[in-house]
Amino acid sequence: MITGLDKCISSLTTKFVRIENAISSEILDTGEAIRRDAARNASAIGFFDSYGNWVELNGDIKGMGIQGGDGYRIWVDAGKMGAYIEFGTGEYAKETLSAYNKEWRDMAYEFFINGEGKLPARPYMYPAWVKNTTGLMDRLRKRMRRPY
C-alpha cells in the first residue's frame, strides 16, 4: 500500500469533476448567449405564416442544454422560414453564404429548393454564433485552469 494514494486519487477525482462542471457551465452559458443574441437580432423580423398570422421570429428562437452539459441546442420554431430569413433565397443566399463557414453553408443547403427565390437574407443566428464562439477555446482553457 502506498501512503497517501487514496487521498491523492480522491483529490484528483474532485479536481476532474470541478473541471468537467466548469466546462459544461461555459458551454451552457455560451449556448444561452447565442440564443439570446439571436433573439435580439431577430427582434425586428417577422413574417406571415401559412394561415395569414403575423409571426415575430424572435419569439420562436428556443434553446436548451444537452443532457450532461455536452452542448446546447438552438432551434427556430418557424418552419423553413427561419432558415430562409437567415440565409435568404436565390442569389441573396448565394451572396450571404459566401461569408459563412463550410459547416453553415452545408446546413443552409439542406433548405435549397431551386435557387430562384427572391428573399433577401436577414442574418440573426450566424452573427450571434460568431460573436459568442469567438474566444470560446480560450475561455474553456481558463475555466480548466481555475475550475472553482
Among 5-14, 41-50, 121-130, the range scoring the smallest mean pLDDT is 41-50
Overall average pLDDT of the 55-63 stretch: 83
- Say whether 66 sits in a helix, a strand or coil: coil
Cα of 94 vs its chain's centroid, Å:
22
Largest CA-CA distance found in the chain, in angstroms, rounded: 76
Residue 78 has what pLDDT? 82
Q: How confident is the model at residue 68 (pLDDT cuts 50, 70, 90)?
A: confident
Residue 97 has what pLDDT? 92
**Percent of the chain beyond pLDDT 90?**
48
Residue 1 has what pLDDT? 65
- Give the domain ranges of the chain: 14-135
> Contact at 8 Å (CB) between 65 and 72?
yes
Which comes out higher in pLDDT, residue 130 or 46?
A: 130
Distance, CA of 40 to CA of 99 (rounded, Å): 21
Residue 145 has what pLDDT? 84
What the block records as the C-alpha cell of 7 is: 487521498
Overall average pLDDT of the 19-39 stretch: 93
Distances (CA, A) of 33 to 69, 74, 127, 132, 144: 15, 11, 12, 7, 20
- Give me the helices (H) in the chain, please: 5-41, 81-87, 90-97, 102-109, 125-133, 136-145
Report pLDDT digits (tens) over 108-135: 999 988 988 888 999 999 999 999 999 9
Single pTM value for the model: 0.83
Residue 144 has what pLDDT? 84
Residue 143 has what pLDDT? 86
Angle between helix 102-109 and 90-97 (nearest 10): 160
